[in-house]
Chains A and B, each alone.
Chain A
């Protein structure tokens, strides 16, 4: 038993014996036919018979290696059908070569087998075919939505910046010019109290309009952010909270407006929450540029236990997720709060 000693199982050993016996028998028959005067090639029929178990062995092995369930069942059917088809073709080949058959008589049988097996396969695997098709369509859809959303978010941010600039150069400037002209008019009617009072009221209205426009513009993009970028804006923000906030920023490249604004509002909201709720002695802001992502973390040493589902955070989360980013809050009771945001950027 040299093969068993080589680590083969009994089944593998029997298969290998069978293959050798079949090959040996085939050679032996060929030799007898050659010595017997080489007439009618009768061993061909024996060869056919010997090939069938070997063929069955290989195809069955292949079918069994398929995934269990419907796929393996279909593979077994195809294996049997394949062997049957080979037997038919070889038989026809021998009748044609040895007996001079004229017609391709297996045609109808082969067609029948192929039709039956195909129908069975389709029936057994139709759900898989549909799922695969559906998955492909879904993936294409997700890709499309991701890219269009990215464009929409970027375009929206750029558009907001443009509106802010237009407000500054347009409506706000005109209103300032208006108050200036009203001021000049007021100087000229110093002796008419009623007219002065009217002008005064008009100026107050103009000032209110300017205030409202300014708040609107600041909500879109704070001036320092628009003028000097994220680092300067965050440093100024941190200084204003009087929490001795340490700022550690390591990004110097220019970021997309959408990424920049989101990062800024994350820091603003986090510092506001710290000042309002955390009862903290210290806080810090860290902005790191990891190449493919901007990571913004804001932390404090306050009482922790922050409500991660609060309305302010929910709004931030939505903003961050619109950029395919992620927001996480780590805030154990008594252990301070860390808010971390990761925003992908080119």
Chain B
């Protein structure tokens, strides 16, 4: 896997580069701003770009805009957006019309190295990975009638969040310390409560969840 990193804070950029190299992932370029990202992608045609949302010079959503532009120029490019906060509007803009090869994670997820590397693999392979906070934010009860959360149990919500991250049943079971059978039961319940068509393929499952969430977006 060949990766470009766009991150302006040296401390994080260097940490990420070291982490990836230790795990035999090739970092072909490290840049600090949006134009740098576009140049690096044109020059290296990487499989994946890891992009910080806030980049110079505006330190607002430069990274997001650069990532969207990069995907327009190279549609098969996987983009993993890293941010210190989750903003569902950004997730929906990044996803646009094409859900393949998109990830949106909170920065601190890099601490769980195995899960983070899994996410990189999935995004590079054309999967979709959404931070569990995206789900939380979309399902946070506002007291209005018919909010989806009231229909899910706490455990089911946890499972849904992990599903949004694109994890397999086994990984979800491991993470929640339950049996894979229990996870399957929860998933069946979630799908029936949210009126989603049942399916077992991990990626298609994320898409189904995503489709549901986009109604809410």
Residues of A within 8 A of B (CB): 165, 168-169, 172-177, 179-184, 186-187, 203, 206-207, 210, 214, 217-218, 223-224, 226-228, 232, 235-236, 239-243, 271-272, 275-276
Contacting residues, chain A, for B61 (C-beta < 8 A): 227-228
**B54 within 8 Å of A by Cβ?**
yes
Cβ-neighbour of A187 out of B22, B108, B143, B146 (below 8 A): B22
Q: Are the C-beta atoms of A173 and B108 separated by less than 8 Å? A: no
Q: What is the distance, in angstroms, from A77's C-beta to the closest C-beta of chain B?
A: 74
Cβ-neighbour of A214 out of B9, B18, B54, B84 (below 8 A): B84
Residues 87-116 (chain B) with a chain A CB within 8 angstroms: 87-89, 107-108, 110-113, 116
Q: Are the C-beta atoms of B144 and A243 separated by less than 8 Å? A: yes
Number of A-B contacts (CB under 8 A): 97
Q: What is the distance, in angstroms, from A32's C-beta to the closest C-beta of chain B?
A: 100
Residues of B within 8 A of A (CB): 9, 11-12, 15-16, 18-19, 22-23, 54, 59-61, 84-85, 87-89, 107-108, 110-113, 116, 137-138, 140, 142-144, 146-147, 216-217
Q: Are the C-beta atoms of B111 and A207 separated by less than 8 Å? A: yes
Given A173-B9, A214-B84, A272-B143, A207 and B108 contact (CB-CB distance below 8 Å)? yes
Q: Are the C-beta atoms of A218 and B110 separated by less than 8 Å? A: no
Contacting residues, chain A, for B140 (C-beta < 8 A): 240
Q: Are the C-beta atoms of B110 and A180 separated by less than 8 Å? A: yes
Question: Of all chain B residues, which has the CB nearest A184?
Answer: B19
Bound Cα distance from A275 to B11, whole angstroms:
43
- Which of B23, B142, B143, B147 has the largest count of A CB atoms less than 10 A from its CB? B143
Contacting residues, chain B, for A176 (C-beta < 8 A): 12, 84, 107-108, 110-111
Bound Cα distance from A242 to B143, whole angstroms:
10
Given A180-B12, A228-B61, A242-B144, A214 and B22 contact (CB-CB distance below 8 Å)? no
Q: Are the C-beta atoms of A242 and B108 separated by less than 8 Å? A: no
A-B contact pairs, 26 of them (CB 8 A): A173-B12, A176-B108, A176-B110, A180-B15, A180-B111, A181-B15, A183-B19, A183-B111, A183-B112, A183-B116, A184-B22, A187-B22, A203-B112, A214-B84, A217-B85, A223-B85, A224-B89, A227-B60, A227-B61, A235-B89, A240-B138, A240-B140, A241-B142, A242-B142, A242-B144, A275-B143
Contacting residues, chain B, for A243 (C-beta < 8 A): 142, 144
Known: A172-B84, A179-B110, A223-B85. 20 other contacts (CB 8 A): A173-B12, A174-B11, A177-B11, A177-B15, A180-B12, A183-B19, A183-B112, A183-B113, A184-B22, A203-B112, A206-B108, A207-B108, A207-B111, A210-B108, A217-B85, A240-B137, A241-B144, A271-B142, A272-B142, A275-B143
